[in-house]
Chains A and B, each alone.
Chain A
Amino acid sequence: MSPAGVTAAVLRGSLPFGLMSALQIVVLLLVAVGATAVVLTRVPTRQVIVLSGYGLLLAILFFVFQAPDVTLSELCVGAVALPILLLLALEKVRKGEE
């Protein structure tokens, strides 16, 4: 079926799951892809940026799971505080190598 056909069927409600479930499935797929991307990036400085994007994806997932509190936490921590901590530690290590 074409994407337009699938979308029309979902909106009509004729598929066995609704719009919410479709959104959840899409975001779950993105989270799985994001996790693989984070692990496969071997250079730590680049990995930190990918981790920040992964944190944003996770926050969207938690929002779609009807948990706004956890969304706020994950946004502040996973996309901001954790990359800052990681980058600072990496710089400390780099300064030690010089």
Chain B
Amino acid sequence: MTPRQRRWIFLAAVVGLAAFYLWGLAGLPGFGNYPGPYGNIIDRVAVSQTNATGVVSAVNFSYRGFDTVGEEFILFIAATGVATVLRHLRGERERTALDEAKDGRVPPTSEAIRMMALLFTGPTVLLGWWLASHAQSDPSGGFQGGVVLATAFILIYLAGEFLVFERVSPVDITDAVEAVGAGGFAAVGVAAVGFGLAYLTNFLPRGVYPGAVFSAGTIPLISFFVGLEVAAAFILIVSELLEQTLVVRQGG
């Protein structure tokens, strides 16, 4: 099938898809006219039921916690998959990379990048931890905090401190942290079952003031575990892709 034929078939398919989509669009109530009862009910009762002022995190970790467990394990499996697929490559490449490194073709990192990256590493870690631990009050949560934390580690690599990066996030410890994060989330749910409630029920004390740091029961705990797991998963993925470049730069 030549590219031209492929383009014509694509055009026909897109016209059919557009027809179906417009037919479905005609049944929607329109942008801004939200009809459904579910969202209004949750907005009304979430603060009094869970003492969490961040309703999105309450939905994520309490009302719809089961979906979030599934998503988190998708993340876990994707990180494992990347490690499996690429570790196979790593063994046979290390010999040739070391030979390449002796050429010394890699230029040193510029001073400006080093300074900015090292300057921002500390605040980024702080921001990541703050985001991961304040899920119940602000627009924050485990997922965002975890990604920001992973970015802090990548900043260390960007600053040219590759040895520090390797020492600060060795693969074994990152693996263990990721497992603790994923397992911790599931364990909180199972602990609820141990108390005779349904899986992932919010069984910890809810605190006095809505939105305070120690309020909303299991939501900050789960958010903390999710933050650990997401950060470790992204660091693992990046370090698998970085292996090659790390070895080259160390030699040169």
Residues of A within 8 A of B (CB): 21, 68-69, 71-73, 76-77, 80-81, 84-85, 88-89, 91-92, 95
Known: A76-B148, A76-B151. A88 touches B139 (CB 8 A): no
Please tell me which one of the listed residues A21, A72, A85 contacts residue B144 in the complex, with CB atoms under 8 A apart: A72
Closest A residue to B241 by beta carbon equals A88
Closest B residue to A95 by beta carbon equals B244
| Chain B residues with CB below 8 A from A73, complex form | 143-144, 147
| Chain A residues with CB below 8 A from B154, complex form | 84
| CB–CB A85/B238 < 8 A | yes
Report the Cα distance A92→B243, complex, angstroms: 10
CB interface residues, B 40-76, toward A, < 8 Å: 54, 56-57
Report the Cα distance A90→B61, complex, angstroms: 36
B232 at the A/B interface (Cβ < 8 Å)? Answer: no
Known: A76-B147, A76-B151, A81-B151. A68 touches B139 (CB 8 A): yes
Report the Cα distance A91→B32, complex, angstroms: 44
| CB–CB B144/A76 < 8 A | yes
| CB–CB B237/A85 < 8 A | yes
| Chain A residues with CB below 8 A from B144, complex form | 69, 72-73, 76
Please tell me which one of the listed residues A68, A71, A77, A92 contacts residue B241 in the complex, with CB atoms under 8 A apart: A92
| CB–CB B139/A89 < 8 A | no
| CB–CB A72/B139 < 8 A | yes
| CB–CB B141/A69 < 8 A | yes
Closest B residue to A86 by beta carbon equals B241
Highest count of chain B CB atoms <10 Å: which of A73, A76, A80, A95: A76
Please tell me which one of the listed residues A72, A85, A92 contacts residue B131 in the complex, with CB atoms under 8 A apart: A72
Minimum Cβ distance to chain A for residue B89 (Å):
8
Closest B residue to A80 by beta carbon equals B151
B228 at the A/B interface (Cβ < 8 Å)? Answer: no
Report the Cα distance A91→B245, complex, angstroms: 8
- A72-B131, A81-B151 known; 18 new pairs, CB 8 Å cut-off, are A21-B32, A68-B139, A69-B139, A69-B144, A72-B144, A76-B147, A76-B151, A81-B147, A84-B154, A85-B238, A88-B242, A89-B241, A91-B244, A91-B245, A92-B244, A92-B245, A95-B97, A95-B244
| Chain B residues with CB below 8 A from A76, complex form | 144, 147-148, 151
| CB–CB A72/B140 < 8 A | yes
List 17 A-B pairs, Cβ < 8 Å: A69-B54, A69-B139, A69-B140, A71-B139, A73-B144, A73-B147, A76-B148, A77-B147, A80-B151, A81-B234, A84-B154, A85-B237, A88-B241, A91-B245, A92-B241, A95-B97, A95-B248
